[in-house]
Chains A and B, each alone.
Chain A
Amino acid sequence: MTRIHDMGGRFGDGPIPLKKIDGKVVDDEPAFKTDWHAKAFAITVASASVGKWSIDKGRFFRESLPPKDYAKFDYYEKWSSALINLLVERGLINREDLIDITKKAKENNLKVSQVTDEHQDVLKAKDVAITLGRGGPSAREVLHSPKFRVGQEVRTINYSPNKNIIGGHTRLPIYARGKKGTVILHHKGHVLPDASAHDLGDSPEHLYTVEFLSTELWGEKDGNQKDTICIDLWESYLI
């Protein structure tokens, strides 16, 4: 099965929440709508330097929030909640810390103390530009040759592909399981999220973009005869 984040194709969501003036889309949203959005973003990015979780693990913790929270939370509430859960899992903070800081927050008594012993891996302001500029490439060498070639017809597996962990992270959306498509791009080897999200190493595999007919995914009635959907899929997702 799947988790609540895997919502491609779902029915019931209303109009796209766009700002419109006189019926015309106005695109003037700033990078961060509120100060706390900006803070939630920045503390998450900064904490990863110490927590050393992979991008896949970060995603997995967001999508593993209880479904009721996931559905209710604003985007940056998901980020900040997942961050806390990651920090506890990594042992960098504990539940007593959370209970204590919550007490202080409710007493309006949040104080930043003079920190004399910063963690050795803390991200420094002077290193922000170079760290972001370097990023975290996911390309890895894979020794065996690719199983599929561009132009080849493939089919996705029809179950959750995480081989190691039931309910584990994967990037094969449920709407594209058991479907037939055509390989249109081969991106060579990339870290497998299904492993990386669970601290199981990179386990790189060949990565492909597979193009599906809209009618293959949604049926003749709901699909569109002309349109296609292109999805990046790892080799073990395909047969």
Chain B
Amino acid sequence: MSDKKNVEHNYDDHNHHNHHDHSLLPEEPELRVKAIETLLLNKGIINSDTVNELIDTYENKIGPRNGAKVVAKAWVDPEYKKRLLKNATKAIEELSYTGRQGEHMVVVENTPEVHNVVVCTLCSCYPWPVLGIPPTWYKSDEYRSRTVREPRKVLQEFGLELDLNTQIKVWDSTSEMRYLVLPMRPVGTEHLSENELESLVTRNSMIGTGLPEMPK
């Protein structure tokens, strides 16, 4: 008996051209992107104002300061924190952060017993509406391969030494659920306003690879 049925359904056998067409373009990445951009503009597939608007959006409007606002609000408003942990998508929408790559949010809370850290081993899934575009290290092979196997060593490289009794929970973002870490409010910040607290919330503290800054 032959393996005919399987062969008919083998993706690579039937599509061996599709994933090599890029090799027809210039090898140098900057020139390659320029060539694609020019081609797509001339074909009417993209629009240059749109390209500029998209870049401006993620350079200036959507970034980790959004997430910092969510965290600071949760620190000062226990009712908000409850809503955030129960239905993060809705609670984050209260601050008008919605949409692409944050359609389905889950907030995971750090406690003295549990420290959460987020990774995407298969690609680079990351909650854009609250954290913006992921930094290079988040998208690196090193972070993607090692975090699930040796999170403590990875966190040490970030300067984060956790107590051996603290459980580390690694969240591998394999679906469209997007995870945001709610870090613990630093001690000695009782007198600070929501705005002042917000300035202590670092990007890494919301991924789980850092802690909030201590007040000066």
Give the interface of A toward B (CB within 8 A). Answer: 5-18, 23-25, 27, 29-34, 36, 38-43, 45-47, 50-51, 55, 59, 61-66, 69, 74-77, 80-85, 87-89, 92-93, 95, 97-99, 101-102, 104-106, 110-113, 115, 117-119, 122-125, 128-129, 131-139, 164-168, 171-173, 175-176, 185, 187, 190-191, 193, 198, 207, 209, 211, 217-218, 222, 224, 226-234
Contacts and interface: CB of A to CB of B under 8 A. Distances in A.
A66 B20 contact: yes
- The A interface, classified by DSSP as helix, strand, loop or mixed, is mixed
Contacts of B152: 224, 227
A43 B148 CA distance: 32
Q: Bin chain B's interface residue count.
A: 35 or more
B100 to A, nearest CB: 4
A168 B31 CA distance: 31
A105 B203 CA distance: 39
Nearest to A61: B19
B149 to A, nearest CB: 4
B204 A25 contact: yes
Given A132-B100, A133-B99, A222 B149 contact: yes
Nearest to B24: A98
Contacts, number: 343
Nearest to A109: B38
Contact of A43 (B46, B140, B169): B46
B135 A89 contact: no
B121 A43 contact: no
B137 A6 contact: no
B148 A64 contact: no
B99 A132 contact: yes
A18 B41 contact: no
A165 B11 CA distance: 6
A41 to B, nearest CB: 7
B141 A63 contact: no
